[in-house]
Amino acid sequence: MAVFCGASGNKFLFSNENKYVISWLPPFFLKVLLPESLENISPEDSIKIRRAVVEFLMPETLQYFIPIMDSMAKKHLETDWSPYKQVKVLPLSMKYTFALACRLFMSITDPNHVTTFADPFALIVDGLTSVPINIPGTNFNRAIKAGKVIHQELLEVIQQRKKELLSETNATVARDFITHTLLAFDENGRSVMNDFSAITFVLKYLADFPHVYNEVLKEQMEIARSKGPNDLLNWDDIKKMKYSWNVAREAMRLIPPSSGTFREAITDFTYAGFTIPKGWKAHWTPHSTHKNPKYFPNPEKFDPSRFESNGPAPYTFVPFGGGPRICPGREYARSEILVFMHNVVTRFKWEKAVSDEKITCKLSPIPVDGLPIYLKPHNHIY
């Protein structure tokens, strides 16, 4: 394993996809995440799937999701936050992001159906960060079983979408990702299917820095006052949330939702005087640049102004990766985070219940106590 560090290391890996390296995951990840029928998926099918994801998550498509995100955020805060004086941000943000994903990616709105995905998903997260020993009683074994449950549920949803497509006279508009993907592939094609962490730590830093919270509130209230009482957010509103997005980016700089990904060398190559043999694995991590004072002076300081004007140098701020393998969901994540920020800051102020809460990592970093906060509803009505 060769670990590539710094902006130059990131640039090299991101710029040489399919020339020197290809994407790679540890085999035990694949055993949990993919059914056996897809473990040997062809490169051509992988390209088709990725293209379908990119097309589905383009800004032109996302603009239709914004009102749905807004209405679901309002309902979530009204149901799961407003009745209480204290809540835990992590499980609630996970509940919201998962329900939203089920709605937008699979058109699933029934809370009980959402739970059939959410419960096994939690087991998968625990299993992927455990020692990969597949014997009954281990987290890894439970994760494999949970993966099979999700695959079966997805298969049933896919079969239902196929029936709906066949019964419709005009199936040119895809209503969710599964429908979109089925339309993108021919009959022989196949389709498969960490924002809660980012939302959690945005709220943490807004509690830590009241002056930053006040600036976010000011920006979001200007947008709120420009809307009618029943108007939902739209794409133009998202584009106005410049300071709020700088705050979110600074939170992701300090605590990236992902610790990086892997590549595999497909040929011998040389980098920085080292020869990396074919078959070796490579790893990049945002931590090698996000906390480097060369790129971010006083790196431990929370400072959203770093992202004003031209922002950081290329290949230094990489929470979503870069190059051809950059996360196709980055604009989706941006919209989801900003919609949630708008709703939560215009409804509440809050204080942390645990001042020095520790952070651990299960695929994504999480506060060990779930970030409990005391809620203080605003008195204003807009």
Q: Which residue has the tokens 């066949």?
A: 166
What does DSSP say about strands 21-24 and 261-265: parallel, antiparallel, or unpaired?
antiparallel
Indicate the class that CATH gives domain 2-29+194-377: mainly alpha
Q: Find out whether 142 and 134 touch, Cβ atoms under 8 Å.
A: no
Q: pLDDT digit string (tens) for 311-349?
A: 899 999 999 988 877 777 888 899 999 999 999 999 999
Annotated binding site: 327
Comparing 4 with 362, which gets the higher pLDDT?
Answer: 4
* Percent of the chain clearing pLDDT 90 (strictly above): 56
Of 14-23, 131-140, 227-236, 326-335, the one with minimum mean pLDDT is 326-335
Contacts of 147 (CB under 8 A, 6+ apart): 32, 33, 34, 35, 120, 124
pLDDT tier at 28, thresholds 50, 70, 90: confident
Query: Does residue 376 register a pLDDT over 60?
Result: yes
Q: pLDDT digit string (tens) for 119-165?
A: 888 888 888 888 999 999 999 999 999 988 888 887 888 787 777 76
Domain ranges, ordered by start, for the chain: 2-29+194-377
Residue 43 pLDDT = 63
* Percent of the chain clearing pLDDT 70 (strictly above): 87
DSSP-derived letter for residue 306 is G
Annotated binding site for heme: 327
Of 70-84, 173-187, 246-260, the one with minimum mean pLDDT is 173-187
Q: Which residue has the tokens 């679901």?
A: 72
Q: Find out whether 340 and 74 touch, Cβ atoms under 8 Å.
A: no
Residue 160 pLDDT = 79
